[in-house]
Amino acid sequence: MLLEAFGSFLQLIFLAMLVLAVVALVFAATAREDAYRAADKQKKSFWLIILGIAVAVNLFIPILFLQIAGVIASIVFMVDVRPAIKAVSGGSGRRGGSSSDGPYGPYNGGR
């Protein structure tokens, strides 16, 4: 019974690794090529290949060492590359507006 629970836990971990790699691949594919250059990161094709290999390894080759390498690549993309690309392309997570906008419009310093 304990081994079955541990096996189920490992399957959840492997599924989470696959989901992370797929999400990173989708984000990499939807970003513009020039944003990678402007953020001084590797080319878009580089990240698509690395993250595509990570997804393929998680799906077809269940070798833990390769899966961990794919997770590391996915984490590096999500933590380092994606925020840099977002900052360069102007994606602050909000639609329109500037950094001085409050919840009811622009903040003008009490003037």
Domain ranges, ordered by start, for the chain: 2-90
- Identify the pLDDT of residue 4: 82
What are the tokens at 99?
């950094």
- Identify the pLDDT of residue 68: 94
CB-based burial of residue 89 (10 Å sphere; 0-12 exposed, 13-18 middle, 19+ buried)? middle
User: Which pTM value belongs to this model?
Assistant: 0.76
- Identify the pLDDT of residue 62: 81
Low-confidence ranges of the chain (pLDDT < 50): none
Spatial neighbors of 85 by CB under 8 A, at least 6 apart, are 31, 35, 36, 39, 41
- Identify the pLDDT of residue 5: 79
- Identify the pLDDT of residue 104: 64
- Identify the pLDDT of residue 72: 97
- Identify the pLDDT of residue 7: 80
- Identify the pLDDT of residue 107: 64
What's the CA gap between 72 and 70, in Å, rounded? 5
Is the Cβ–Cβ distance between 17 and 71 less than 8 Å?
yes
